[in-house]
Amino acid sequence: MEAVAPYQRGTKAWFADEVEGWTVASVVETSVDAESVRIVFETATKKRITFDSSVAALVASGFSNLPPLKNPPMLEGIDDLSNLSYLHEPEVLHNIKLRYLQEQIYTYSGIVLIAMNPFQRLALYSSDIMREYSGKRRGELEPHLFAVAEEAYRTMIREKQNQSIIVSGESGAGKTQSAKYIMRYFATVDNLDTSRGESLNSSGISEIEEAVLSTNPIMESFGNSKTTRNDNSSRFGKYIEILFSKPSGPAKTVSIVGAKIRTYLLERSRLIFQPATERNYHIFYQLCAAVPAAERKELGLGKWNEFHYLNQGGSGVIHGFDDAAEFAVTQQALSTIGISVSSQWNIFKVCAALLHIGNIQITNSRSDEAQISEDDPALIQATRLLQVDQGNFKKWIIKKQISTRSEKILSNVNSAQALIGRDSVAKFIYTMLFDWIVKVINKNLWREDLATGGDLSFIGVLDIYGFEHFKKNSFEQFCINYANEKLQQEFNQHVFKLEQEEYVAEKINWSFIDFNDNQPCIDLIEGKLGILDLLDEESRLPSGSDGSLINKLYQRFDGSVKNKFFVKPRFGQTAFTVKHYAVDVTYDIEAFIDKNKDTVTDEQLSLLNSSSFSFLKEVLVIDDAAAAPQEAESSSKRFSMLQTRKPTLGSIFKTSLVNLMTTLRTTQVHYIRCIKPNHSKQAFGFEPQLVLSQLRACGVLETIRISCAGYPSRWTFQEFSDRYYILVPSSQWTSDPKVLTGRIAEGAIREPGLYQVGLTKIFFRAGQLAFLEKRRSEKLRYCVVLIQKNIRMFVNRRAYLRRKEAAIAIQSAFRGYSARTKYQKERSDRAATKIQSTFRRHAAMKTLSKKKNAILTIQTQLRTINAARVLANLRRDRAAVKIQSYLRGHLSRTAYRATLNRIILLQSCVRRARAVAQMKVLKVESKSVGKLKELNYTLENKIVELSQSVKARGLENKALVDKIASLEGQVVSWKEKFSRVESSSKNAVGQLEGNAVELKAEVKAAVEAKDGYMKEVERLHSELAKKEAVIVGLQTDLGKSKDEVRKLKDELLHKPPAYSPATRGASVTSDDSTSAAQLKRENALLKDQIAKLVERSATVEYERKVPAVYPTEIKAMSAKVSEVHVQPMESVEYTNPTPSFDDKALEEEIIDSLITNLRIPLPSTQTIATRSEIFFPAHLIGLSMKQLLLFNLGTRTQVVMSNITTAIQLLAKRFEDDYVSAFWLSNCFELSCISKFLHTQMEARYRSEFEGSETELLLKKVQGDLTNIMTDIYAGWIKVLKRRLANMIVPAVVENQSLPAYISKQVGASWSKVGKTPGGTQFKIEQLLSFLNKLSKTLRCYYMHEKISSQILTELVRVIGVSAFNHILVRKNFGTWKRGMQLQHNAQRLDEWCQAQNIPAAAVHLQPFAQAAKLLVLMKTPPTDAEIVFKECFLLNPTQIKKFLSLYYAADFDSPLPPQLLTAVNSRANQNHEEGGDILSLDSENVAEFVEPASRPLETGIDPFMPQWLSLPQIRTLIG
């Protein structure tokens, strides 16, 4: 009774439920005896369920009657169903439901990926997610479509074996969308980080890859429609073979070079009929919605509800589906695939004709004959578009022709038959059109020369309908279920084969697994004289009908012992039942014959082939290769009239299915089962019964049954021993995991048949893993209890000792308190007695003192009163005396003032009288002549004095004017001397230039005269080059002297005038002397410069004869110049002569010596190169550019600089070493600063003439080219660094465990699939930081601008943060709180590095990753912690938080997340989704644009430093 042992109190088991599928209950009572077993269970609703059974019945059933047990909590929500300990139907359903409600839509079941349709767009398919799955093994990350696609892709490359991916499921399960994502993954997986050597579009994929992806919208438009279950349901099956090139490059990458599509069983009946709320094929609604007005009129199109073939379902518009926009996508896809615009409109023309055919009105006459009006507008439009004869088209719809041996009989048909004929024509044309489109796609995408090469591989994606079971099932469901029977058989054999192969590889004892083979059911359908044979036979009979077919089926199969899979219904004679592997399906025989024929009459076909529409003829050509082989004619004479037999739809489908099975058997197959979770298309709604039926139909449960028949649980020795070593004593522990595994298994499992030890793994029967987990939990619980017991003993003993010590302390303290109290009382008594005596003495003394004080107070008051009286008398007497004195003084002063006023009045009267008398005397004198003469004489004397003074002043002025005139004459003579000096200087320059030209001509003549003496010519050329360099130096010195003369001129011009009207006087003499001294100094300076020029020119000696007049002329000119003092230089315009050098040689020297073959100083911490040693290429190039511009060689400068920048770009974009990229990026920026510096200099020198000049345009072009080079170097270098970091980020940042106290053993995939030990990662965080430090030091060694260095390091840190964040988003069983601590530590290390490098902007990019790590560490037990989570992780959106919480893995003794918390987070995430903020992964593709820093000022100018080890003769000659 070992099987009943697990059913102990508290054990949970599953029971069937009509609504939920299965419900869980706990054991509350168990009763087991020798004959019976009774177990009582209780559900969460307190409902009691009793299980009663006899022991004999349990043994007979192999104990399968027992209620299925529930797995331990640690296995709930696991991502691979095959890892469940109890692997049965309720646990599969529960696990899928649990994951789906956590919005984890993908789950593995062994080799199968189960995909639940979320009915909502999820951020799971971005290029960042693709990048995470690229190169990863299946099982390393969370289950995903991309994991299956990646496994197929890498297996194809590695093993050079063709692959197939089968995507199946019922309508609305998401098959089409899944297949599209898989194809997109194949097209873009190897273009995420690298670009191939072929033309790529804006999406980063090649033209052929884009064409392959363009097949999806085409096939969806012509083969998909809206159904009650799905808005974009595929009404056909397809198998697309994607052909890949040979692996190339070090990474062994491949690319798509072609594709081929096979289609299966297009639902032809949908064209003519749609149930309620459904639609026809999308293309028709797209035409009605988006065709332009002119074409609309030409095709006769209107609204969709005007056509019979479109309005039957009553639903012409799909919510969220824009037919006009989809039509544009369809047209673009047709063009991409290679169908011309004219052919596209021919396709649309045929589609419009089909709509008009559906509108042809057929009525019944009185004789029950069908008739069509001659002026029927639909008939006219249809025949016009198809370009067929209207009369014949009408004729062969309402009539039929029967051919006999001798004649052809033409008869009328009724309206029902005519409608069938009309619809048959429409179905036939549309079917041929669909096949033609597929054929054209294959022709344009599939190259037979590549496919037959033998070296290329392909991956096939099969998007096929799942098992269908409706209330009424017809011929379409029969074919679909037949295909699923074939696929299920292949699937079962594949799973069986994999199981047996692993057992053989591990060399364990095993027996063949028995599984339900559905071959008899397949034989019933496709075998000899099976259902398909009988159907084809009946279809070829002229009198064949559905009734005769069903009778033949009953006669052939009903009651047959061999055919247990065919059942005749109890009621009715129009149906039959087939027992499929999933469920029994009853098929209605109605229209089986017509649907199997599914063709037009010979007359109708002949009419269509006679059309003048060439495109229609091309479409109607039947591909013989695709047609089923014709069967042999019957030996019966009755059918000898049949010369040919058209292939039926059933035979065509059978042949294509056989070919498909043959193809699948030659490939390695991967399976994806799509599940529709609910009928209402509600986002994340779960209907258990619906899901359960699909799990049964898709074969997942059958796979589980096969696995359970063997050893479903398998572990490697290392992972098993790591987890269960605690089950054996420590004395048995050993370093050999295999030995330790054997000891654990022997000690824990008593029956040897429940496990098998292989070569690398240990295998367990179903349920043993749960048993081991239970033992492990019990052991851990025992250890915990033991630890708790000892800790509690220690705590309690320590508390007891503390209490004992406290009691003793209290007792001693109390006794001391009592003694002190008694002593205090005695002291109080003695003190009271003493206080009393003292108080009495004090009271007596106080009474005496009061009496004494009272006497003294009375005496004092009396004495005070007497003194106050005396004082008052004294004050009164003093006041009386003072008043008397004031009154007497006032009276005296009043009398004095009155006397004084009277005296003054008297004096005024006397003086007035005297003045009046004198006035009278003066009036008399004024009337006499003598007085006037006296006055006149006085005035004349004054005039004479003034005239003499004026004359003296005039003489003074004349003398001053003469002196001024003489000074002006001197100034004029100085000006004439200056003009002579100027003219002489011009003549001297002209003669120098002329003589230089003559010398060159003579050199040329001398060389031509001595052509025979080659050695002498070479020597003369070398000497000539040296002398020309000396001439260039003389010219440079002459230019410098001219600059100095110009400076002297500026000083003279800006000198204040020698005199002015306001400064006449003694200052004139001092100004003259100062000016004369200045002119003498300038004259002497000019003499010295000319003398130096003469001396240097005199040293030029050629070995050929030079005219002696040349130095003489120079001396004469210098003598003339020496005679002159100084002249104004306003009119001097000097242009440097063209230097004698080869610009091509200069360009080659710069490119060869300064760029291509330059020995770049390596970065070193011991000897750091100086700025001159780093930037000398940029400065020398800048100096060369400056000299060329000064020589007015703008065109040559542009060519040279263009070639130089091209050479720099070619060298730097190799990205061979970091120091090369850093060196040239730094030098390019320095050269850009030099060009801007030259621009500023030129602009200041030439001012208005510089604006818009050739030089300005050249400098701007150079700056633009340098900016582009820096941008290219930055982007390319960042891409290279990102590739180098790609393999380092996850091990160093995510998997690295630097904190010993928080080591987690689950380092990678599921805990049951981990093969690495702690700390076994390849890279550490220290290595990553070392890489960044090395790069930072390199940037500093090459004096990279701070902002450029910051941009580079910030971008790399951003890549690290984003990549780590995106990786933990998809890493399964990784989100534990211990991992959160490790991730936080690693993020903190990176943040500290950013702060140390002074790039705080880079640390910002680490915050999402840091907050994700913090989310794992935060307390998440109470539901109220949801707000804390959102507050602390404010950079994460609710969708990301929900994803992390769904990945949270509760380790040992860690509390699982409460449902209330998940509900709160889900509600916030749903609200965020409605607002459009459901971004999941961070964008890692877009690189931040390069921002060029502001130009660095060149304070010391351009540095002419040249290393001694460089030979640069051209540059040295150019810059002197």
Active site members:
171-172, 176, 230, 233-234, 466, 468
Q: Which residue is it, tokens 């696995």?
A: 707
Is residue 176 marked as binding?
yes
Strands (E), 544-613: 566-567, 575-579, 584-588
Cα separations (Å) of 1474 from 105, 672, 1433, 1438, 1439? Answer: 20, 29, 21, 12, 11
The answer to the question of whether 170 is labelled as a binding residue is yes
Alpha carbons 1424 and 245: distance in angstroms, whole number: 56
- Give the residue from 488, 486, 544 showing the smallest Cα distance to 264: 486
The reply to whether 174 sits in an annotated binding site is yes
- C-alpha torsion angle, residues 768, 769, 771, 776 (rounded to 10): 140
Q: How far apart are CA 743 and CA 1231, in angstroms?
A: 73
Cα angle: 1265, vertex 1267, 1270; to 5 degrees: 110
Two tokens, residue 331: 């047209």
* Greatest C-alpha distance within the chain: 189
Classify strands 112-116 and 668-675 as parallel, antiparallel or unpaired.
parallel
The answer to whether 1270 and 1215 have CB atoms below 8 angstroms apart is no
Identify the CA nearest to 237 among candidates 162, 173, 149, 176.
176
Q: CB-hemisphere CA count at 13 Å for 1388?
A: 10
Q: Of 1217, 1219, 1183, 1216, nearest to 1201 (Cα)?
A: 1183
Question: Can you tell me the distance from the alpha carbon of 212 to that of 1393, in angstroms, rounded to the nearest whole number?
Answer: 46
Token digits for 923? 């009036």
* Residue 165 to residue 173: CA distance in whole angstroms: 16
Among candidate residues 513, 514, 759, 540, the one with its CA nearest the CA of residue 642: 540
- Edge-first strand order for the sheet with 48-54 is 12-17, 21-32, 36-43, 48-54
711: left (phi over 0), alpha (psi -120 to 50) or beta: beta
Q: Collapse the DSSP code of 1295 into the 3-class scheme (helix H, G, I; strand E, B; otherwise coil) and give the result.
A: helix
d(CA 682, CA 176): 19
Burial 869-881, CB ≥16 within 10 A → b, else e: eeeeeeeeeeeee
User: Measured between alpha carbons, how far is 1150 from 1171 in angstroms, rounded to an integer?
Assistant: 20
* CA 1305/CA 1316 separation, integer angstroms: 8
Encoded tokens for 1020: 């003369």
Structure tokens at 641: 């009239």
Q: Indicate the SS3 state at residue 1056.
A: coil
- List CB contacts of 131: < 8 A, sequence separation 6 or more: 192, 193, 1366, 1484
Residue 1520 is labelled as binding a ligand:
no
Say if residues 109 and 698 touch (Cβ distance below 8 Å).
no
Do the beta carbons of residue 1020 and residue 1006 sit within 8 Å? Answer: yes
Identify the burial level of 1101 via C-beta atoms within 10 angstroms of its C-beta, where 0-12 means exposed, 13-18 middle and 19 or more buried: exposed
Q: Which residues contact 1072 (CB under 8 A, 6 or more apart)?
A: 967, 970, 1058
- DSSP character string of 755-784: EEE-SSEEEE-TTHHHHHHHHHHHHHHHHH
Rounded CA gap, 927 and 933, in Å?
13
The full length of the chain comes to 1520
Annotation: binding site for ATP? 169-176
Annotation: binding site? 169-176
